[in-house]
């Protein structure tokens, strides 16, 4: 009994000591940066090396305005916000080439750049923009205006680069300092389409079905890409590329021999004409529907090729899912 009492007594003393130690221990709390902080200058969503910002535009002859650069200075305190700061941003053609060697430098006659009433540009392509942040200002923007997107090659991508070069008044240039704006013209039909239904039939001769596993239902096959190649024309990628057509579901075999497959939409009637630059025999399937429904963004396509030999008949319904 005495032994038990002594253990209980010692445990009580030990617990009291722990409580006293915990009460005396100081808890660490984060301290504000205060006057020790410095202003960080960056491009929103920029990077080092440059990030790519896709800015697809409609294939139309009317002006399109694109936000290219959101320039910011992150202020640690009121004193820094009240400083005047000068920041320079380069029209960075080298960043464009580094990001993608296939980008085309857009001719200067095809676009203009807007950069506020206080921005100053020196030099042409590859020149420098100078921005003055007045007390209280923390944001500047650069816009690209394309007056007529139909001048652009719809099958090409154009790039314009912007990189922060200097910041005075103690400013620190962030790693978010560079961006390449990717510009591509897209018509109203451009995008990724899901297969709603479809049927393909292969023949060993006219009127003689092959009866192979490549013929059958198309439902369940991968999404199809419709890419702008004209004001009202889209192209479907060839075999071997993402977004191309497959034979019947389940065999994982893509349709070859009809490269350059295009769907041309009559904007007045919404009727569609199918063609292939790689196979001149491909035409609309007579007696079947070829049209586009703008209300539901749905294509109904029916076409055939090799009509005098190994005929192929392909009918499919495609509904828009989103941008490519």
**CA dist., res. 123 & res. 141, Å (int):** 19
User: Average pLDDT for residues 122-138, to the nearest whole number?
Assistant: 90
Residue 119's pLDDT is what?
80
pLDDT digits (tens, 9 = 90+) for 261-306: 999 999 999 999 999 999 999 999 999 999 999 999 999 999 999 9
Binned at pLDDT 50, 70 and 90, residue 7 comes out as: very low
- HEC sequence for 238-287: CCCCCCCCECCCCCCCECCCCCCEEEEECCCCCEEEEEECCCCCCEECCC
Cβ neighbours around 27 below 10 Å, total? 4
12 phi, psi to nearest 5 deg:
-65, -40
| Predicted local distance difference test score (pLDDT) of residue 125 | 77
Domains of the chain with CATH codes: 34-186 (2.60.40.2030), 191-322 (2.40.128.440)
Return the bridge partners of 264, or none: 233, 273
To 5 degrees, how large is the angle CA 154–CA 64–CA 242?
35
Answering whether pTM is above 0.85, one says no
| DSSP assignments along 285-318, one per residue | -TTS--EEETTTTEEEEEEEE-TTSS-EEEEEEE
* Pairing between β-strand 178-183 and β-strand 158-167 as defined by DSSP bridges: antiparallel
Percent of the chain with pLDDT over 70: 89
Mean pLDDT computed over 234-250: 97
Supply the pLDDT for residue 112.
Answer: 92
Taking the CA of residue 281 as centre, how many other CA atoms within 13 Å lie in the half-sphere pointing to its CB? 12
SS3 232: coil
> What's the number of CA atoms in the CB half-sphere (13 Å) around residue 302?
11
As a whole number of angstroms, the distance between CA 290 and CA 247 comes to 19
Model pLDDT for residues 74-91, shown as the tens digit of each residue: 999 999 999 999 999 999
Q: Phi, psi at residue 238, to the nearest 5°? A: -80, 175
């Amino acid at each position: 009994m005495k032994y038990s009492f002594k253990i209980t007594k010692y445990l009580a003393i030990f617990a009291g000591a722990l409580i006293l130690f915990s009460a005396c221990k100081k808890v660490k709390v984060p301290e504000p940066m205060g006057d020790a902080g410095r202003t960080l200058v960056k491009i929103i969503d920029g990077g080092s090396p440059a990030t790519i910002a896709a800015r697809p535009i409609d294939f139309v002859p009317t002006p399109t305005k694109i936000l290219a650069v959101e320039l910011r200075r992150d202020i640690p305190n009121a004193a820094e916000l009240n400083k005047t700061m000068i920041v320079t941003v380069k029209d960075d053609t080298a960043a464009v080439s580094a990001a993608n060697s296939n980008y085309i430098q857009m001719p200067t006659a095809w676009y203009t750049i807007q950069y506020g009433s206080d921005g100053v540009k020196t030099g042409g392509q590859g020149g420098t923009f100078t921005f003055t942040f007045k007390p209280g200002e923390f944001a500047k923007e650069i816009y690209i205006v394309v007056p007529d997107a139909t001048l652009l090659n719809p099958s090409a991508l154009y790039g314009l680069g912007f990189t922060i070069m200097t910041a005075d008044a103690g400013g620190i240039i962030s790693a978010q300092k560079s961006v390449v704006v990717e510009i591509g013209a897209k018509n109203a039909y451009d995008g990724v389409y899901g297969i709603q239904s479809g049927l393909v039939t292969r023949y060993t001769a006219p009127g003689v079905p092959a009866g192979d596993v490549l013929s059958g239902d198309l439902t369940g096959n991968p999404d199809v890409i419709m890419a702008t190649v004209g004001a009202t024309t889209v192209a479907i990628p060839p075999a071997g590329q993402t977004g191309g057509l497959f034979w019947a579901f389940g065999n994982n075999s893509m349709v070859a021999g009809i490269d350059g497959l295009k769907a041309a939409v009559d904007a007045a009637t919404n009727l569609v004409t199918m063609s292939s630059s790689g196979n001149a025999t491909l035409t609309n399937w007579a007696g079947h529907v070829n049209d586009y429904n703008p209300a539901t963004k749905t294509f109904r396509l029916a076409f055939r090729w090799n009509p005098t030999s190994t005929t192929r008949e392909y009918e499919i319904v495609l509904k828009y899912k989103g941008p490519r």
